[in-house]
Structure 1
């Protein structure tokens, strides 16, 4: 993880946040050596709370596809308004909670 004023989340575009590396195709789905994206912690957590690794690998394997998806686009409209130092709480989607 990295922290710097220069760091920008590739998904939400917020600046000055801690960055994590997100495998666009999850490692468990064969994406270990595949492209990655630099995401803030809340965005990274939200993606994995909303979608299964299989869904990420098959349907949502680019930043553009993620940004266009209905569930994450609602979240992105909200997170862009949040200060980078706010403690963001993440909840799993109803579908993901029901599967467990």
Structure 2
């Protein structure tokens, strides 16, 4: 499905479903966000499922997180056709 990423706001891009509370921690029936593949992969590269469930369980909290803010600022400037390399967290 194509649309606008809820994190980076880039439009007309292929979207994935991100469970705001990871499924393995009971999030199967809880709220989801529609994210582009790049943002979705970056979130999971930076944060453990436990951290996502405890601290980053909605889009507003994700957008306000310092580590992710830098990424979002950068990715917004990238064309939707560009393949993006994901940086893994050193502390995850």
Q: TM-score, normalised by structure 1?
A: 0.90
Indicate yes or no: 2:78 matched with 1:91.
no
Indicate yes or no: 2:18 matched with 1:61.
no
Counterpart Cα distance in 1 of 2:13 and 2:70: 20
Q: Deviations over 1:12-56 (max 9, x none)?
A: 000111100000000011100000000000000000000000000
The residue number in structure 1 matching 2:19 is 23
Q: How does 1:38-53 map to 2 (within 5 A)?
A: 38-53=34-49
Counterpart Cα distance in 2 of 1:93 and 1:14: 24
Q: Which of residues 72, 76, 80 in structure 1 aligns to 2:76? A: 80
Q: Give structure 2 stretches of 5+ with no counterpart.
A: none
4+ residue runs over 6 A deviation: none
Q: TM-score, normalised by structure 2?
A: 0.97
Bigger shift: residues 71-80 or 87-96 = 87-96
Q: RMSD of aligned C-alpha atoms?
A: 0.6
